[in-house]
Amino acid sequence: MSAPAPVVTDVLAGLPQVRDWQLVPGAEGDTLLVAGTPAAGDGSCPEDTADAVSAGDAAVKGTDLTALPALMGLLDETALLAMARVLDRARLFRDGGTHDAAEVVAALGTVPRHAWIVRRWLRTLVEENRLRQDPGSGRYHSLTAPGRQTYAAARRTLDKAREGLDYPPSMTRFFLAAADRLPLLLQDRAGLQEVLFPDGETTTAEGNYRDSTPSRWVNHAAAELVAREARRLSGSRPLRVLEAGAGVGATTGAVLDALGDAPVDYLFTDVSRFFLRAGRDAFGERPGLRRALFDVNADPVAQGLLPASQDVVLAANVLHNARHAGQALAALRELLVPGGLLVLVESCQEHYQALTSMYLLMSPPAGEDAWFTDLRKGQDRVFLTGDEWTRQLDAAGFRTLPVLPVPGHPLAVSLGQRVIAGRARPGPGRPDPAAIRSALADALPPNSRPVRVHAVDRVIRTTTGESR
């Protein structure tokens, strides 16, 4: 009888430098995360972030920040009313009717990729006492839906509050247009892209990602962290920056302004060509700015980027698109020089307003009903909390900076968004991915090998994937 063919596990078991590993499944093949001897220390870095906080504060100077929580509250309340109305107009829960989540998803004609959003609506409406759930059967009943006038009044109040905070009118227009299209959006008979970019126009997205109070704060705080790196290099050579998911360039603009005349080699990237054109229109003349396609879900090296080639990697409102956050972070870390800086902007708080708007852009692609393979798997959520990001950065080999704004800051509660940063640790005991690839290639045929190998400091256990 012939011996069974070796598998990845057998090869790794023979490599003393590999203490822990995880095989992360992916559409283009598996990724192997390998960890060596656990790194000592708590992974946090007592770096001064006061300048970044001051830059954020200066960017919102003159805005009545005390009005922000009320606007956020109105957006969330209007979103709740919109969800309840969609369910009611589909005649669900009328006359004592009860339904489980699958029945509601089906009654709304929801495509599988958006089913998670309807499940979130149901959970949220229960939490907000607008719907009841039977604890035994799990079935939902007794919906409290708003009448037409109540809903119309909420929409008007929202727009007034928006004016008071100097938000562009496009902000409420987008939010309300999305709410009006919810039944069609859930059925994929309308797309939110067309609402956010009407006729290919980027003005609405700019209002969201550049001009809104939370965006101004986080973009300028993030920009100051990047500018500080340029000062550290003190002009000895251009600062090398890779921006992932640069989109309409809302964060790019703040960063380039903060960099001023400092020499820079800035790679403006996005997964979509549409945004590379937007980047050319917005920043075409800036010396040192290049543009390229880049997907955070694919191997950076296979996309033409070199290991240890960047001083800064920046990703604003992008990395939650990674199917596996830890894997994406490990891949980005390999692009950074030792001590290089990763700067993320992320929404870290769940706002109901997203459930009737932005979340429609965050479902898996058509034809897929599962998306994330990391700690979010099966949880019907997109965003990680600040603590979760910190743990992911630490495990991927970053010394984390304090998440901004820090607790106690006037915007800490209402902002929702956070600036999350870390420095690439040299990683003592970190296995060499090239040596692992070579050992796997010696023992296994190509179709039994992972397509990517990334070294991490620690493997974070998830319910998915094979691991030691």
Ligand X SMILES: C[S@@+](CC[C@H](N)C(=O)[O-])C[C@H]1O[C@@H](n2cnc3c(N)ncnc32)[C@H](O)[C@@H]1O
Give percent helix, percent strand, percent coil of the chain, each to the nearest 5.
Answer: 45, 15, 40
Phi, psi of 121 (to 5 degrees): -55, -50
Q: What is the DSSP string of 22-35?
A: EEE--TT--EEEEE
Q: Considering the rule CB under 6 A, would residue 248 count as an interface residue with ligand X? A: yes
**Distance spanning both ends of the chain, measured CA to CA:** 28
Report if residue 244 touches ligand X, rule: CB under 6 A: yes
Rule CB under 6 A: is residue 296 a binding residue for ligand X?
Answer: yes
| 271 is a contact residue toward ligand X (CB under 6 A) | yes
Query: What single DSSP character describes residue 131?
Result: S
* Residue 318 in contact with ligand X, rule: CB under 6 A: yes
For residue 247, state whether it binds ligand X (rule: CB under 6 A). Answer: yes
When asked if residue 321 is in the footprint of ligand X (CB under 6 A), the reply is yes
How many Å separate Cα 387 from the centre of its chain?
14
Give 295 or 311: the residue with its C-beta nearer to ligand X.
Answer: 295
Binders of ligand X in range 272-291 (CB under 6 A): 272, 275
Q: Which range of residues in 15-23, 125-133, 150-158, 317-325 is near ligand X by CB under 6 A?
A: 317-325
Rank residues 20 and 270 by Cβ distance to ligand X and give the closer one: 270
Task: Provide the minimum distance between the beta carbon of 261 and ligand X in the complex, in angstroms, as a whole number.
Answer: 22
Of 49, 133, 251, 310, which lies in the binding site for ligand X, with binding defined by CB under 6 A?
251
Residue type, 406: V
Minimum CB distance to ligand X smaller for 71 or for 343? 343
Q: How far is the CB of 8 from ligand X (least distance, A)?
A: 26
Selection from 346, 388, 314, 412 nearest residue 56 by Cα: 412
Interaction of residue 295 with ligand X, rule CB under 6 A: yes
The neighbour count for residue 444, using CB atoms within 10 Å, is 17
All residues at 6 or more sequence positions from 227 whose CB lies less than 8 Å from its CB, including other chains: 255, 258, 259, 260, 262
**Residue 6: Cβ-neighbour burial (10 angstroms; 0-12, 13-18, 19+):** middle
Span near ligand X by CB under 6 A; candidates 29-37, 109-117, 121-129, 249-257:
249-257
Q: Is 367 left (phi over 0), alpha (psi -120 to 50) or beta?
A: left
Which three-class secondary structure state does DSSP give residue 53?
A: helix
- 297 near ligand X, judged by CB under 6 A: yes
* Per-position x/- string for 197-236, each x denoting binding to ligand X as judged by CB under 6 A, each - no binding: ------------x---------------------------
Q: Which of 125/244 has CB closer to ligand X?
A: 244
Residues that bind ligand X (CB under 6 A): 209, 244-251, 270-272, 275, 294-297, 316-318, 321
